[in-house]
Amino acid sequence: MPEPRTWQLTAGSAALGLVLAAAAVTAAGPWDGGQRTAERARAAAPTAGGTRHAPPPAPAAPRRPAPAPSAPGVLTALRAPTPNASTAPAGRAADLAAVLVPLLADPGLGPLRTASVVDTATGRQLYGEGAGTPMTPASTVKIATTAAALSALGPEHRIATTVTAAPDGKGITLTGGGDPTLDPARLKTLAADTARALKARGHTSVRLTYDTSLYRGPALHPIGPNENIAPVVALMTREGRLDDSHSGPAPRTADPAGDTATAFAGLLTAAGIEVTGDPAPGRTPQADPLALTHSAPLGDLVERTLTNSDNDLAEALARQTALARRQPASFQGAENAVRDELTRLGVPVAGARFADGSGLDRRDRVSAALLTGLLTRAADPARPALRPLLTGLPVGGFTGTLAGRFDTAPAGAGLVRAKTGTLTGVNTLAGTVVTADGRLLAFAFLAGRTVSAPEAQPALDRLSAALAGQK
């Protein structure tokens, strides 16, 4: 049941939030609804899913990931005074319910809907409707995936891709560490560093093997070959994309690791090292790397995952969590590790299922209470490692998967930050909102058996926007 609380009015805070949000406008990421091509082909199959969603030293002092531009306005609410529950207006919970219940009844949300609204300053649930009921979350499961990764590894962790020489110096191995953000520029630098190290050892001709053994189990996501995700392997360049896109659906290679190794061989040749034969799978020698390259800090990767609803990166972060917790880097190992990490964070995991890290798998299950619990912990000043969970959320009407939203709910534009979720028949939204009195609320609205995204998404937007007007 909802609980009452004290609400303090900060004059003009809503207007200030809009001003701060306007400063947050950046290049828009993909619209979740645009990632449903494969879903339409599988609409009649209830078990299918889809989202529409000398080596150089490691960096000496990795920076803490910079918050998204609008983060200061959102996080200011965390410094607001803690309300005194003993003086909370008796009708406050009823008032909030009176606003939300009619909006939850919108036919566009279908017959299955759950909700949770929590005051991040106190951790109190202000409104709940089936809040503990596990539902198919679609891409809002990325909140759980990224929270687990941040908790297990911290925001400064970086993923390495290495090159190691065989003892005889006649062969080298390119080893994938699970970084799907490796790009041609970094691969070129890695090849140049490798060539320099080989020449220093007197070698100008080598065999090239590549090692993807860090990951276990099937590489193909259960959804099958799909434009929303590449095969999940430990070595790839640009998420296996075959076009110039940086996010959203795209044609994908069936062999990301082989393509990356072939490109690396060409770059070595250009750098003056002859590569004999074709690159082939192999194992990494027991030796220090000749050269290596690192991903951006994990906090940055989390922000990218949430803003763009990046499926490939979400699966990589789930596996990084598995590795950190000494589980196999597989779908099953990642599921076990994420669940264990969320249990350590103290959120309700009863009935939860993390069949994948991206939300493409319809077997995923989370509750609205689990999502608001994670968002509330990320807002806790005592847990700074989780802060990218908030700063990475798209800004309503401005960035990422929310750039094209809130047309029918302008009151929430700039004040709502949320992760979207879209599968055929499933529409979800979970995030934070700054209220009219400057408070920060966490919310999660999950809807199942929806008729269409064009009907469900505006209904979800109106629900979150209604919270922005609360005092």
| β-bridge pairing 440-448 and 426-434 | antiparallel
Residues 437, 13: contact at Cβ < 8 Å? yes
**Lookup result for tokens 């995936």:** 145
Inter-CA distances, 389 with 9, 49, 363, Å: 27, 25, 23
Inter-CA distances, 436 with 2, 10, 445, Å: 19, 7, 20
DSSP-based three-state secondary structure for 53: coil
Q: Please give the full DSSP string across 200-248, using - where no structure is assigned.
A: HTT--EEEEEEE-TTB-S-SS-TT-SBTTB----S--SGGGBSSS-SSS
Inter-CA distances, 118 with 2, 6, 96, 102, 131, Å: 9, 13, 12, 19, 11
Alpha-carbon span 157 to 149, nearest angstrom: 10
Nearest 5°: the CA angle 194, 200, 204 is 70
| Chain centroid, CA 182 distance in Å | 17
Alpha-carbon span 83 to 94, nearest angstrom: 18
Tokens matching residue 147: 């929270």
36-40 contacts at long range (C-beta below 8 A, 24 or more positions apart): 36/422, 36/423, 36/424, 36/453, 37/227, 37/249, 38/223, 38/226, 38/227, 38/228, 39/423, 39/424, 40/424
Residues 379, 123: contact at Cβ < 8 Å? no
User: According to the 3-state scheme, what is the secondary structure of 449-464?
Assistant: CCCCHHHHHHHHHHHH
Which residues are known to be catalytic?
Answer: 139, 142, 309
